[in-house]
Amino acid sequence: MSVFQYDYLIVGAGLFGSVFAHEAVKAGKRVLVIDKRAHTGGNIHCENIAGINVHKYGAHIFHTSDRAVWDYVNQFVSFNRYVNSPIANYQGKLFNLPFNMNTFYQLWGVKTPAEAKAKIAEQRQDYRHLEPQNLEEQALYLGGRDLYETLIKGYTEKQWGRPATQIPAFIIKRLPFRFTFDNNYFDDLYQGIPIGGYNALTDALLEGIEVRTDINYFEHKAKLDKQARQVLYTGKIDEFFDCQLGKLEYRSLHFESEVLEQENYQGNAVVNYTDKAVPYTRILEHKHFEFGTQPHTVVTREYPHEYSKDNEPYYPMNDSHNNALIARYKALANTAPYKDKYIFGGRLADYKYYDMDDTVAASLQLVKTQLG
């Protein structure tokens, strides 16, 4: 008879942990899920404010071209027809994103693909001999000065908290130019928001599973570990190892939300502010994610800043230093006594920026590895 109360202790009730928990229980495993936050769902958690599902940790739009992932999540929720078509505001002027014929018309007045291509070639002319060493040079090399100054420079410098000349060139590997009047940000086949919000998805995944929130794993680690045969850890991998090899670097965000007694504030779910003089990177108007008809609205301003222990890690700084460090942590995780007891997975444990479909796919792959 097993000496363990659970087959798996899952540290983190986000999407990765929730998918694994669901599949493990379906396979007959005994599972306990814990989370340090007061809620499940991780960063896709929604908070209902005045009858509107507010994306508490920033905008999340589910999109994928992976039919298996799309079919998987549709077992639990239905998705609406939301299409992500953000707007950029630069010094009061509005531009469509991603870069498409609407953007080029708004920027230069060009009306045909041939005119747009000629204008971009003209803009790139002065930079065609560059061997880009940083993000600024990469953006100028790919798109020229107008696009860079208007829609890239200020937003990116706010996002990463440093001048574009100090940001690695690989952050912008390419600039996706569309020579059609198509404002759909994603190219994926499937896209939408769960009807009823993301909580409906994680609640369905965790239905019938023992979940404890407001539990700090590290404060109770010895006791919790003894209860489970294996531990799936989805938190920061450097924190698990008490940062003994060094701290991984992140960028963080904070959000300021308010209820406005008006029906419609900006007419779009996402408006990016690309002027560096504006301190926030974007404003979200949450009702538009679900085509809300409430007589009021909720907006959120998103401010990027440096990560500290008092806020959430959102974006990994995947430069050469941090990539070398995460490789060392992964090697450590694969040594005794860790490799038989602990499993590491999810965006924080892998130190990667995952879209939601990537998260689901990675969790399902772990299910295959662990459960066959």
pLDDT value for 50: 94
Q: Does residue 47 sit in the same domain as residue 145?
A: no
**Distance from C-alpha of 271 to C-alpha of 54, rounded to nearest angstrom:** 16
Out of 81, 131, 174, 340, the active site residue is 174
CA distances, 173 to each of 21, 168, 307 (Å): 36, 10, 25
Q: Does residue 53 sit in the same domain as residue 148?
A: no
Q: Which of 107, 141, 172 is the last residue of a domain?
A: 172
What's the gap between Cα 91 and its chain centre?
A: 27
124 counts as catalytic: no
219 counts as catalytic: no
**Distance from C-alpha of 347 to C-alpha of 44, rounded to nearest angstrom:** 13
Contacts of 339 (CB under 8 A, 6+ apart): 333
Asked if 144 and 177 touch (Cβ cutoff 8 Å), the reply is no
**Distance from C-alpha of 77 to C-alpha of 266, rounded to nearest angstrom:** 28
Query: In the chain, what is the straight-line distance between the N-terminal and C-terminal CA atoms, in Å?
Result: 22
Q: Does residue 228 sit in the same domain as residue 323?
A: yes
Tokens in use for 11?
Answer: 């540290």
Q: Does residue 233 sit in the same domain as residue 323?
A: yes
Positive or negative, the CA dihedral 171, 147, 155, 182 is negative
pLDDT value for 3: 86
**Distance from C-alpha of 110 to C-alpha of 114, rounded to nearest angstrom:** 9
Q: Does residue 133 sit in the same domain as residue 236?
A: no
pLDDT value for 170: 87
Whole-structure pTM value: 0.95
Rg (CA), the chain: 22
174 counts as catalytic: yes
CATH code, 141: 1.10.3110
7 counts as catalytic: no
Ranges of H-type helices in the chain:
15-26, 67-73, 101-108, 113-124, 135-143, 145-147, 153-160, 198-205, 221-227, 237-240, 320-333, 347-350, 356-371
Q: Does residue 154 sit in the same domain as residue 211?
A: no
68-93 core/surface letters (b: 16 or more CB in 10 A; e: else): ebbebbeebbebeebebbbbbbbeee
Four-point Cα dihedral 65, 71, 73, 75, nearest 10: 170
CATH code, 329: 3.40.50.720
Q: Does residue 226 sit in the same domain as residue 320?
A: yes
Does residue 271 sit within a domain?
A: no
Does residue 236 sit within a domain?
A: yes
Digits of tens for pLDDT over the chain (372 positions)?
Answer: 468 999 999 999 999 999 999 999 999 999 999 999 999 999 999 999 999 999 999 999 999 999 999 999 999 999 999 999 999 999 999 999 999 999 999 999 999 999 999 999 999 999 999 999 999 999 999 999 999 999 999 999 999 999 999 998 988 888 889 999 999 999 999 999 999 999 999 999 999 999 999 999 999 999 999 999 999 999 999 999 999 999 999 999 999 999 999 999 999 999 999 999 999 999 999 999 999 999 999 999 999 999 988 889 999 998 889 999 999 999 999 999 999 999 999 999 999 999 999 999 999 999 999 998
pLDDT value for 273: 98
Q: Does residue 49 sit in the same domain as residue 195?
A: yes
Asked if 12 and 218 touch (Cβ cutoff 8 Å), the reply is no
Q: Does residue 145 sit in the same domain as residue 220?
A: no
Q: Does residue 205 sit in the same domain as residue 70?
A: yes
Does residue 105 sit within a domain?
A: yes
Does residue 301 sit within a domain?
A: no
**Distance from C-alpha of 351 to C-alpha of 368, rounded to nearest angstrom:** 21
Does residue 268 sit within a domain?
A: no
> What string of DSSP letters covers 353-366?
---HHHHHHHHHHH
**Distance from C-alpha of 64 to C-alpha of 355, rounded to nearest angstrom:** 9
Q: What's the total number of domains in the chain?
A: 2
Residue 15's domain comprises 6-82+190-249+316-371
Does residue 129 sit within a domain?
A: yes
Q: Does residue 19 sit in the same domain as residue 160?
A: no
Out of 30, 37, 282, 347, the active site residue is 282
Does residue 272 sit within a domain?
A: no
Residue type, position 180, single letter: T
Does residue 258 sit within a domain?
A: no
Out of 37, 57, 148, 178, the active site residue is 178
Positive or negative, the CA dihedral 90, 95, 98, 101 is negative
Per the listing, tokens 């479909």 go with 357
Out of 124, 145, 229, 251, the active site residue is 251
**Distance from C-alpha of 140 to C-alpha of 128, rounded to nearest angstrom:** 9
251 counts as catalytic: yes
Q: Does residue 78 sit in the same domain as residue 10?
A: yes
